[in-house]
Amino acid sequence: MRGVSAKRAGPVGGETSQTLDRGLAILQLLADREHGAGMTVTELASALGVGRPVVYRLVATLEARDFVTRREDGRIRLGLGLTRMSASVLPLLRDASLPTLRALADAVGATAHLTIVEGGDAFALSVVEPTWTDYHVAYRIGSRHALDHGAAGKAILGARVGRTSYVVTDGELQSGAHGVAAPIVGLAGLEASVGVVSMGPLDEQKLGPQVVSAAARIARALR
């Protein structure tokens, strides 16, 4: 999940809680990879456009819930409370993706996967192997790699700058492996992609649109 600045024009429709909004903005800022070392109260106050006393109160509340933690140097980082919450959400993402991944894997005869951003890396949350092929890539659930390596991570990086088409890579994660992936878009707070990987050559012009369609179906299932 990428961090965002809390300096917005205002709530979009309906009544909202400014305090809750600011607290959530702190969590989003701390989740940004560029803030992996944490942020100071002064830095958070500047990003939120509020005074330091406001940030102190927000951080104290989040710390009491174990959503953030303060290091000895005063920098604030995400806490383990968020890990416990995400552990409840991830099975929902996995279950929602499985029917589409199964259909994709069997349609193209290659291993299909759902990849999310976790801890700044590309993390394989769901993996489905085709049922009818004798030879296919064994891609382990829980595998992780840098976002700038492999089709899955590069599709996510592309979505960050507005590119929503599919990405093709060859041999970046494993020698001889070919990958095609497309980002899941339109879901606030979720950075993810759908892809397939094969040890044989892929017809990217045929397979690319299929992967994009699968990503769109999973996005609809998660709404």
Residues sharing a CB contact under 8 Å with residue 90, sequence separation 6 or more, in sequence order:
125
pTM, full prediction: 0.71
Class at the top of the CATH hierarchy for domain 18-78: mainly alpha
- Domain spans of the chain? 18-78, 85-222
Q: What is the pLDDT of residues 108-138, one digit of tens each?
A: 999 999 999 987 899 999 999 999 988 777 7
**Beta partners for residue 117, in sequence order:** 122
Domain 85-222 is of which CATH architecture?
2-Layer Sandwich (3.30)
Q: How many CB atoms lie within 10 A of CB 42?
A: 11
- Could you tell me the CA-to-CA distances from 21 to 63, 94, 152, 162, 181 in Å, in that order? 16, 28, 31, 25, 33
Question: What pLDDT, on the 0 to 100 scale, is given for residue 140?
Answer: 86
The answer on pLDDT for 3 being more than 80 is no
Q: Once rounded to an integer, what is the mean pLDDT over residues 146-163?
A: 95
Question: What pLDDT, on the 0 to 100 scale, is given for residue 33?
Answer: 57
The answer on pLDDT for 36 being more than 70 is no
